Amino acid sequence: MNDEVDSISSDNLPRARRTSHVRLDAVLGRNGEALSPRALRKLLEQLQAVIDPRIGEIEGGRRARALIDWYESATLEERLDLWQLMSEQFVADQSKAKAAQAEYVAAIGTPDEAAAEVRLRRDTVSPRRRILQRISVLPEGVRFLVDMREQLLPHLRAHPTLAALDVEMEYMFSTWFDVGFLELRRMSWDSPASLLEKLIKYEAVHDIRSWADLKNRLDSDRRCYGFFHPRLPQEPLIFVEVALLGNLAESITPLLDESAAAADLTKATTAIFYSISNTQPGLRGVSFGDSLIKRVVDELKEEFPRLKVFATLSPIPGLRNWLGKNASRLLKSAPARTQQALGREVGEPVTSKALLAALERVAELSETSALRRWLMSCGSEYLARGIDGIRPIDPVARFHLGNGARVERLNWLADPSPKGLKQSYGLMVNYLYDLNRLDKHRAMLAQAKIPVSGQIKGLIST
């Protein structure tokens, strides 16, 4: 319902990359040609016909459906033509907009202000938006538009003019997919297989390898919640996997171990959010993740009054890349004794290149390794000081810190999978949601100060 209030973006969360509609992909695969000028003109007329002010809703619906049918059998080139037309041709009427706005500005502060604003908003709806609205009214319309945007997104870079259509869709989606309409639902092993199948498909953090893997994640010591929307009823828009434990999880491995026994729920004090995935690439820019975590915390507290700690076990997707670019600087600024110890371990003279090469075998480092200490220090630096403007560099950090969490603990070799090694040399981090300090932490972040625990501070100063 907060359509125009700014909110933290859950875009920073991993998002399912697989597209959902194989048939469309197949169609897109075939190397089509763009429309002829004649066909272009026909398409333009078809678009105009959809928003002809003289037709009623029934006829309007019929024309919108015909447009969808055209789209579904169109080649990629033809679709690009459509997107181009919608971006460039269906723009607002400048003089009408000017007049309505002048009228509105004049009314500000008078009793007519609100009415003038409503008139303004109605009168200045761009024709492009009217087309989208017509489509959205069809039962399958919202599903279609979300998919269309998913298909458009990869072409934005090559075709910057399509941004107008993209922005329009993002804005409309953010209105429609208001959190006020989202329904939180628990998913469990008793949920329909057709729904659980989508978790397998959409999981974007730690791949679900099999139904047995999935079943383990829905065991008695786990919870899985998702947000559902009435216009896309068959699938979660975003979902989170939670483990209920006796302590702060320090590695993902036991959580994904299918043969491990379920934890004793009567002793659970800690809820670990170990995977959050967005499912709809077409909803990029529309945010639900922060509400999800808050609603899930409420549900969990209701079901398990003994829970005291709410935290994540999160990947650090940008660490390795950042370290690659900053290793020299970090090495130079390290205390002399650290440099010496590193030299003893990887050979003198110690270079950032040598350090990075040695990190390829991170799993073999001993507990007392200087390289290990250095990597932990760099990771803490990245999380605690890595600020880009006023926002954390790491996308996952951006999300959780934006929600009011703090950086709690860095965990060594917490994700030894190839993906984990590739993203962050196996490091993972816990973000802590201290419910009494969320607003305080957000206020700190607004001043570009990242809230961190003592452990993290200690690691930096190493």
The answer to whether 184 contacts a copy of itself (rule: CB under 8 A) is: no
Binding residues for a copy of itself restricted to 257-316, rule: CB under 8 A: 290, 294
CB of 306 to a copy of itself, least distance (A): 17
Q: Which stretch binds a copy of itself (CB under 8 A): 73-81, 166-174, 332-340, 382-390?
A: 166-174
Query: Which of 59, 258, 264, 360 is close enough to bind a copy of itself by CB under 8 A?
Result: 59
Annotation says 191 is catalytic: no
**Residue 65 is a binding residue for a copy of itself (CB under 8 A):** no
Looking at 277, 287, 291, 314, which residue is catalytic? Answer: 314
Residue 314 is among the residues annotated as catalytic for this protein: yes
131, 43 contact by CB (below 8 A) = no
The reply on whether position 104 binds a copy of itself by CB under 8 A is yes
Task: Decide: is 137 part of the binding site for a copy of itself (CB under 8 A).
Answer: yes
Encode 206-250 in three state secondary structure. Answer: CCCCCHHHHHHHCCCCEEEEEEEECCECCCCCEEEEEEEECCCCC
CB 9 to a copy of itself: min, Å: 14
- Between CA 135 and CA 148 the distance in angstroms is 12
Query: Is the distance from CB of 289 to CB of 15 less than 8 angstroms?
Result: no
Catalytic residue among 229, 275, 291, 400: 400
CA distance linking residue 259 with residue 207, whole number of Å: 17
Backbone angles phi, psi at 410, to 5 degrees: -100, 135
- Which of residues 77 and 170 has its CB atom nearest to a copy of itself in the complex? 170
Q: Using the rule CB under 8 A, is 168 a contact of a copy of itself?
A: yes
Given candidates 63, 79, 129, 400, which one binds a copy of itself under the rule CB under 8 A?
129
Residues 363-422 that bind a copy of itself (CB under 8 A): 404
Distance in angstroms (rounded) separating the CA atoms of residues 204 and 207: 6
What is the DSSP track for 341-376?
HHHHHH-SSP-HHHHHHHHTTGGG--TT-HHHHHHH
Binding residue (CB under 8 A) for a copy of itself from 72, 77, 112, 434: 112
Residue 248's closest CA among 318, 308, 317? 308
- Total binding residues toward a copy of itself, as defined by CB under 8 A: 84
Q: In 307-447, which residue ranges form alpha helices assigned H by DSSP?
A: 319-333, 336-346, 352-359, 370-385, 395-402, 418-424, 438-446
Q: Which of residues 202-221 bind a copy of itself (CB under 8 A)?
A: 211, 215
Active site residues: 314, 400
